[in-house]
């Protein structure tokens, strides 16, 4: 009897290319065959081995040593500028009232025969008062009084408080209105585009009203009765609001120091013009201070990096900054308190002057 032939080794294939038995290939064999495109088996390679195409094998798990994905940063869309219509409307109202004041003045009709109106042959009833009477090329003092100029006796004794507002829309002459309207358009339109007509309208009117109140105190201290007209108090209020807006919104500006220096120089130059003759600098100072305080109250903007929740996509839990900084809240509260106390103080001083005049009479 012959013995049956021995079983072939596990690594010898049959004539048809199949296997008679299974064996566990070594890891080197698997890697070698994987590179050449074929596999004899599918062992799971270690997690730090990559395939020939540079990717990781299927089922690979990320190593714990890999850095985490950075948190996405979101930013709110750029704010759309407001359409400026209030400032141009105030400009038109001031120019129209000046034209009406010249029509109402009618210099050739009311002037004496020994005096002559300026440009009466060309302008007719719109001609200007003599230069000695009004060097700003405008109407007479009588005309401005009738139309609502600010005067101590009329406000304090006759209780015509409406003059605190109407004087803001009257001007003493062509030079006066040209200078004021140029400032109004250059400052007011930019502020209205950024903050809207409501907030800029409030700053303009409240600052002008405060300038009129301070002017009343100044006029009461003078011996000769005088009048005060012009939008200078309101315009200085806008200038002061620009300065405080820069300070309270400090984090969102890039060239902070350059912008601050520019505003300080412009403010100082404009305030220095108030020391010229026939200029009511008290209205300038009162309007500037009130506008500066109103800017901290009305012109606050969110700090740099603040994102509203509605601008964050669903599914993201992002740590957000607070809308306003601590110093913005502090400036808001302090300015509001100073404004209220200052208004009550001016009211008390005005009443004391009224009582003093009553006792003197």
Q: Which domain holds residue 299?
A: 85-303+321-360
Q: Which neighbouring-strand residues pair with 227?
A: 151
290-314 pLDDT, tens digit per residue, is 999 999 999 998 887 777 767 666 6
Phi, psi at 79, each rounded to 5°:
-65, 140
Taking Cα atoms as reference points, which of 278, 288, 286 lies closest to residue 173? 278
Tell me whether residue 7 is in a domain. no
Can you give the pTM of this predicted structure?
A: 0.74
Cβ within 8 Å of residue 338, ≥6 positions away: 293
Please give the helix or strand (H or E) that residue 227 lies within, else none.
Answer: strand 227-228
Position 337 confidence tier, pLDDT thresholds 50, 70, 90: very high
- Report yes or no on 70 lying in a domain: no
Tell me the per-residue pLDDT of 96-153, one tens digit each, with 9 for 90 and over: 999 999 999 999 988 887 788 999 889 999 999 998 888 889 999 999 999 999 988 8
How far does the chain reach from its first CA to its final CA, in angstroms? 158
In a domain, 315, yes or no: no
Number of residues that this document lists for the chain? 361
Would 170 be classed as within a structural domain? Answer: yes
Does residue 57 belong to any structural domain of this protein?
no
Domain with residue 175: its CATH number is 1.20.1540.10
Q: Which of 232, 282, 290, 335 is catalytic?
A: 232
The reply to whether 41 falls in a domain is no
pLDDT in tens, 166-194: 999 999 999 899 989 998 998 999 999 99
Separation CA 206–CA 198 (nearest Å): 12
Q: Is 350 helix (H, G, I), strand (E, B) or coil?
A: helix
Domain count, the chain: 1
Answer whether residue 165 is part of any domain.
yes
DSSP state, residue 150: E
pLDDT per residue over 33-69, tens digit each?
A: 444 444 444 455 444 444 444 444 444 555 555 666 5
The question of whether 244 is a catalytic residue gets the answer no
Tens of pLDDT along 261-288?
A: 877 887 787 777 666 666 778 899 999 9
Is 308 inside a domain boundary? no
Other C-beta atoms closer than 10 Å to the C-beta of 231 total 28
* Catalytic member of 101, 215, 284, 290: 284
Residue 7 catalytic? no
Q: Is the pLDDT of residue 241 over 80?
A: yes
């Amino acid at each position: 009897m012959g013995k049956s032939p021995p079983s072939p080794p596990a690594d010898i294939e049959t004539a048809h290319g199949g296997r008679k038995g299974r064996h566990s290939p070594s890891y080197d064999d698997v890697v070698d065959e994987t590179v050449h495109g074929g596999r004899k088996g599918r062992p799971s390679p270690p997690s730090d081995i990559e395939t020939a195409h540079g990717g990781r094998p299927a089922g690979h798990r990320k190593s714990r040593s890999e850095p985490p994905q950075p948190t996405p940063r979101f930013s709110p869309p750029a704010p759309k500028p407001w359409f400026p219509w209030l400032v141009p409307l105030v400009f038109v109202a001031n120019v129209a009232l000046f034209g009406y004041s010249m029509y109402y003045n009618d210099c050739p009709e009311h002037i004496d025969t020994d005096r002559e109106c300026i440009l009466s042959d060309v302008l007719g009833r719109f001609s200007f008062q003599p230069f000695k009477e009004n060097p700003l090329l405008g109407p007479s003092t009588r005309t401005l009084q009738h139309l609502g100029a600010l005067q101590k006796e009329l406000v304090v004794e006759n209780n015509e408080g409406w003059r605190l507002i109407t004087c803001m829309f009257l001007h003493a002459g062509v030079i006066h209105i040209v200078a004021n309207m140029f400032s109004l358009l250059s400052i007011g339109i930019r502020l209205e585009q950024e903050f809207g007509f409501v907030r800029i309208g409030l700053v303009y009117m409240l600052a002008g009203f405060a300038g009129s109140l301070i002017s009343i105190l100044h006029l009461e201290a003078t011996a000769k009765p005088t009048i005060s007209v012009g939008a200078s108090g309101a315009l200085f209020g806008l200038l002061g609001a620009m300065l405080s807006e820069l300070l309270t919104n400090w984090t969102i500006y890039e060239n902070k120091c350059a912008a601050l220096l520019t505003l300080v120089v412009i403010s100082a130059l404009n305030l220095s013009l108030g020391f010229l003759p026939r200029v009511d600098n008290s209205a300038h100072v009162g309007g500037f201070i009130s506008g500066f305080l109103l800017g901290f109250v009305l012109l606050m903007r969110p700090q740099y990096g603040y994102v509203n929740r509605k601008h964050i996509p669903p599914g993201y839990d992002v740590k957000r900054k607070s809308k306003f900084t601590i110093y913005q809240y502090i400036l808001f509260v302090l300015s509001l308190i100073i404004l209220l106390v200052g208004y009550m103080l001016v009211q008390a001083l005005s009443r004391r002057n009224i009582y003093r005049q009553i006792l003197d009479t």
